[in-house]
Structure 1
Amino acid sequence: RDLDVADVLTRRPEGYHARVGDSRVPAPSDAVTTIHAGATAREAGLAALLEYDRFRRASLLDGLFGDGAAVSPLHPWEAARAVVGERPMTRTLHVSADAVEIVCAVDRLDELPLALEKTVTVPQAGARVDIRYRLRWEGRGLLVARWGVQFNLALSAGDAPGRYFRVPGRPSLGSRGRLDGRRALAMVDEWLGCELGLRWAGAGEVAWAPVETVSLSESGFERIYQGAALLVLWPLRLPPGATWEMALELGLSELAGASVER
């Protein structure tokens, strides 16, 4: 099955966003409205959703964070000590009969003596991507920090039946949450009959939040779910010259015995 799970909208200013704060939730009415009429709000508080993204809402966005305070999975970069972001990196491409592999590297991160190597492998067989991180600390003292990687992923809906994270309580894909000591997080969509699973080798903290914005339709201004932002954080404690490595896997699989609703 072909599914695009990575196409999460990057939130940018729209012309009508300036009018969202002035809109009101209308009283019940039988009148027919159009997109050309004065727009109303489908719910209160929509102006709070008008946040815009520093980087494209891609996956494998990464950076170095301090040790301690909770980091927003939706907007982590303001809290980062260093961000890879859109900086240029050296790239080496390897193509074989079994896989396509790209190795991206940078020698220093935001003036920190921290070298990064990120290897992304797409096997020919199976719907998965393998990722390997390697950090090398060349500073004079001990580095105590956290390494964070953000994924932005989407299935068919957020707050809807049969769409949930595979964690205790099965919170919806439109929920917010944070768990420590995890090695995996899965997004389940029973309507599509699939599971999008993220796994990593060493225990870490994972947090998630919905990517939402405001759209204008004939019903007025309304909340639109674009996908989920996932942030995985691992502790670092590196003396001079030490390295740290982490392996991840992102894979899509069918739900066994799923009853697909159409």
Structure 2
Amino acid sequence: MWLAERVWEPHLVKPMVEGGVQYTVVDDVHFKSVGLRKEELFGYYQTEEQGHTLEIFPINRELRYLIPFSPPEKTIDYLRAHATTDGGRLALCFDDGEKFGCWPDTYQAVYLDGWLDRFFTLLEENADWIDTVTVRGFRENHPAWGRIYLPTASYVEMQEWSLPPEQTLLFEEAAKKVDPAYLDFLRGGFWRHFLVKYPESNNLHKKMLLVSSMVEAVLPAQRTVKVGAGGEEKNQAASNAQEALWRGQCNDPYWHGVFGGLYLTNLRSANYQNLLNAEVLCDSLNHKGPFLTVVQRDFDCDGRPEVLVSTQEHNCYFTLQGGALFELDFKPKSFNLLDTITRRPEAYHQRIGKTLHDKPEVESTPRAMREIAFSKESGLEKMLHYDWYRRLSLIDHFLHPDSFLESFYNVSYGEQGDFVNQHYQCEVEEEEDQVVLVLRRDGHVWIGTDFWPIRINKRITIQRDAAHLRAEYSIENGWDRPVSLWFGVEFNANFLAGNAPDRFYYSPDLAIAEAHLASKGEIPEINALGMRDEYLGIDYLLHWSQPADVWRFPIETISQSEAGFEKVYQSSVVMPNWKFELPPLGVKKFWIDQSIVSL
């Protein structure tokens, strides 16, 4: 069995064996971390968990770096240096197929320049002492070298990437300073910390677990259904839901290293689409028509409850930190509109200004992925802006009087309130055809040197029969003096392509000259702004009760991939905002509607 990214955890032995797996392969760094020496890594070992035994083969790191990044003669020299007369050693090469033609320069080197042909020719010329075998073939003729217990681990680079960016830089520095003889004992982070490093990864992971529980619940009861008198046929909905769940467990968008991974919107969206396909199938088995459920549970496993509202048409998931909407699933299209990501520092960002703009000439010997450093466009270092809060919807902002569109975009503006990511109280009112969430926070806004008491009540109504949400706002002055405020409500939506002609802004009030979703601009005194995706067939419209100035701009991250450093469109921000004065103990009221329909 191939483990995704060779991420090993000891508890995996039991379910793997119960599933019929007899052996697996992991990196030799796992073995070195428990004290095995290099000469002890040319065989395989047996481990156990609760009495279940599994054979584990170490992947040879030297071969991973030699093939195909060094002349093939060096691989032969390495094998010769470690060969024995009895032929009982295995040098296992198990690695990404992409390095043979997909990674930069590898197609030229491996095929056009003849690396692969020379490599196989050398293997044939040295067949008197080199046997090419499969893992299965080797284990049939050679016993395990002993018993072993391995710690949680993955390959060295993965343990580095899972660290916070500041610690990643320290890890890189430590690796340069440590004597090579001791490097095997230098450990980085833990794969699961990606779920801490990237809340968006955790959101996707916990969505997967939630859908998994839904699928598990319908499988036993719905595998067959009776038809006619005494007849019976298999119900495909449950098994199809299970297959969709498995597709949604593809590992790539759950983490990020030197590949795009989590930062690639098409990968995240594909996982969400499959998970939502599974959820919709489960809905069809559990409900005979429109439904409405509301659950308070610790969805993201941080010790605090979230509020999950589900209907036949959509899901609306709320966090009480900021009283914001963090997942918005439109079920007819199996699409999560809030599949966004926050702009945050990465360890490699410090190298962007020092990289080449144009891709260098193809090299005869390709470089390993971690050595590749060029940018797909110039000036990316000027686009590095870091958010201090997650990009969600229904985020409540109080702006400094000096704020303007560009300062809000690049996060240099002044946030005067303590509402964006602080705790809101929540009350739930359930009715037959709708549910109402009353989110309230008694907070403050800096007005000069005064920390002014302000209360926000937002009464959010979600309908059973339509993908419609209304947020009724009440902003209350806590002092018996008048106060001038500048208030905005931030929304985010991701339709995957910021510059595609079939995805654009529109307003019932006026024509928008530059309407693509990666555009930036300010529109004064309008009552509504929408986004239309003709490719997916989705119309998303925001409408409010009082004319507002509206800011819009794209969230674009700068990330690393096999193609170099690149800008990636993540979402579009829309923020209607109002300037108003509250009289002593006065109240400002208005509402915002959010609706989603199929085109």
The TM-score normalised by the length of structure 2 is 0.40
Counterpart code for 2:424? M
Between structure 1 and structure 2, the one with the greater Rg is: 2
Residue 19 of structure 1 aligns with which residue? Answer: 351
The aligned counterpart of 1:237 is: 581
**Is the 8 Å Cα contact of residues 435 and 462 (structure 2) preserved in structure 1?**
yes
TM-aligned CA deviation for residue 211 of structure 1: 0.1
Q: Which residue of 1 aligns with 2:544?
A: 200
| Range with bigger deviation, 44-53 or 176-185 | 44-53
Equivalent residues of 2:385, 2:410 under 8 A apart: no
Cα distance in 2 for partners of 1:83, 1:176 equals: 26
The equivalent of 2:385 in structure 1 is 51
Matches for 1:158-173 after TM superposition, within 5 Å:
158-166=498-506, 167-173=511-517
* Counterpart in the other structure of 2:452: 112
The CA deviation at 1:155 is 1.0
Q: Which residue of 2 aligns with 1:153?
A: 493
1:219 aligns with 2:563: yes
> 1:156 touches 1:192 (CA, 8 Å); kept in 2?
no
Moved more, 195-204 or 165-174: 165-174
Contact in 1 for aligned 2:419/2:443 (Cα 8 Å): no
Q: How does 1:49-198 map to 2 (within 5 A)?
A: 49-66=383-400, 69-71=403-405, 72-74=407-409, 78-110=413-445, 111-166=451-506, 167-198=511-542
Corresponding residue for residue 38 of structure 1: 372
**Alpha-carbon distance change, 36 to 67 in structure 1, aligned in 2, over 3 angstroms:** closer
Equivalent residue for 1:246?
590
Cα gap change, 1:67/1:202 in structure 2, threshold over 3 Å: closer, same or farther?
farther
Secondary structure of 1:216's partner?
Answer: strand
Q: State the one-letter code of the partner of 2:357.
A: V
Matched AA of 2:433: D
- Larger mean CA deviation between 207-216 and 16-25 belongs to 16-25
Q: Is the 8 A contact 1:11 1:51 kept in 2?
A: yes
For 1:258, the equivalent position in structure 2 comes to none
| Higher RCO (CA < 8 A, seq sep 6+) | 1
**How has the CA–CA distance of structure 1 residues 11 and 67 changed in structure 2, closer, same or farther, with 3 Å as cutoff?**
closer
Please identify, of 174-183 and 20-29, the stretch whose mean Cα deviation from structure 2 is larger. Answer: 20-29
Residues 230 and 83 (structure 1), Cα distance of their counterparts in 2 relative to 1, 3 Å cut:
farther
Displacement after TM superposition at 1:6 (Å): 0.9
**Which secondary structure does the structure 2 equivalent of 1:87 belong to?**
coil
**Deviations 1:160-206 (CA, angstroms, capped at 9, x unpaired):** 12111114225210010101101111111111122111110000100
More helix by share: 2
SS in structure 2 of the partner of residue 112 of structure 1: strand
Equivalences, count: 255
Q: Secondary structure at the match of 2:575?
A: strand
- Write the deviation string for residues 104-129 of structure 1: whole angstroms up to 9, x where unpaired: 11223243122111122221111122
SS of corresponding position for 1:113? strand
Are residues 16 and 68 of structure 1, via their aligned partners in 2, closer, same or farther at CA, if it must alter by over 3 Å?
A: closer
- Residues 496 and 569, structure 2, Cα contact 8 Å, conserved in 1: no
* SS in structure 1 of the partner of residue 382 of structure 2: helix
Match of 1:259 in 2: none
Distance 1:135 1:77 in 2: 25
Q: Post-superposition shift, 1:4?
A: 0.5
Give structure 2 stretches of 5+ with no counterpart.
1-331, 446-450
Report if the CA contact (8 A) 1:73-1:209 is conserved.
no
The alpha-carbon deviation at position 3 of structure 1 amounts to: 1.6
TM-score between both structures, scaled by the size of structure 1: 0.89
